[in-house]
Amino acid sequence: MNNITNGTTATPVNELWDGILLLSVFGTIDSARSKEMMETMLAKVVQTSAKVIVLDILGVAVVDSAVANHLLKIGRATKLIGADTIISGISPEVAVTLVELGIDLEATITTANLSDALQLAFDRTGYTIEQSK
């Protein structure tokens, strides 16, 4: 569990599916937490040979330029070691803020919600979701 109030935050990275990792972020993201997230994610990618990381930021309180920069760094680092990052949970307010701040998320893949991110992640890893009849 994340313990946001006392500043010590755990970063649980879950292996959602073969080759797909999920990191749900809650609370605030500062430099120390961003560094911890990056290190944990990189280690988990290497350990699992994951191809896609879904970074769900729906629970992040404030997304300003500093937070966006942290997210970009995490995306670049994971890209370098061989995994794609999908940032999900971008609310309309966050999207407007990012545009108004002039933040270019470059080649980062973004989705409005977790289900869209999962769909993309499954496409990337070669899985298809079918409804049973």
Partner 1 sequence: MYANRNILVLTVPADITSTDIAHLYDEISSVAATGGLQGVVVDCSKILAADTIQARRVFRVAKLARLYRLSAVFCCIREGVATALVELDFKPGDVQTATTVDQAMQQLERPDVNLAAS
| 51 is a site residue for partner 1 (CB under 8 A) | yes
Question: d(Cα 93, Cα 40) in Å, to the nearest integer?
Answer: 28
Secondary structure class of 119 (helix, strand, coil): helix
Task: Please select the residue that binds partner 1; options are 32, 46, 62, 96, rule is CB under 8 A.
Answer: 46
Angle between helices 65-81 and 31-48 (to 10 degrees): 20
Q: Which stretch binds partner 1 (CB under 8 A): 21-29, 58-66, 90-98, 102-110?
A: 102-110
Q: Which stretch binds partner 1 (CB under 8 A): 3-11, 56-64, 88-96, 121-129?
A: 121-129
Question: d(Cα 70, Cα 37) in Å, to the nearest integer?
Answer: 10
Question: d(Cα 105, Cα 110) in Å, to the nearest integer?
Answer: 8
| 125 is a site residue for partner 1 (CB under 8 A) | yes
Query: In this complex, which beta carbon is closest to partner 1, that of residue 9 or of residue 85?
Result: 85
| Structure tokens belonging to residue 113 | 């919600």
- Residue 27 contacts residue 2 (beta carbons within 8 Å): yes
Residue type, 27: G
| 18 is a site residue for partner 1 (CB under 8 A) | no
Task: Please select the residue that binds partner 1; options are 126, 129, 131, 132, rule is CB under 8 A.
Answer: 126
Query: In this complex, which beta carbon is closest to partner 1, that of residue 101 or of residue 107?
Result: 107
Of 53-82, binders to partner 1 (CB under 8 A) are 73, 76-82
Q: Which residue has the tokens 């120390």?
A: 32
Binding region for partner 1 (CB under 8 A): 38-39, 42-43, 45-46, 49-52, 73, 76-84, 86, 106-107, 109, 120, 123-126
